[in-house]
Structure 1
Amino acid sequence: VPDMDEALDHLGSLGWRVTTAIEDHGARMCKIDTPDPSGFPVELIDVNVDPHEE
Structure 2
Amino acid sequence: MSQGLCPIVEIDHEPLALMPHLAAPLDKRLLRQPILSIAHRAHEVRAALDAVTSGI
TM-score by length of 1: 0.24
Question: What TM-score comes out, normalization by structure 2 length?
Answer: 0.23
Answer with 1 or 2: which has the greater Rg.
Answer: 1
Q: Relative contact order (C-alpha < 8 Å, sep 6+): which is higher?
A: 2
Higher strand proportion (structure 1 or 2): 1
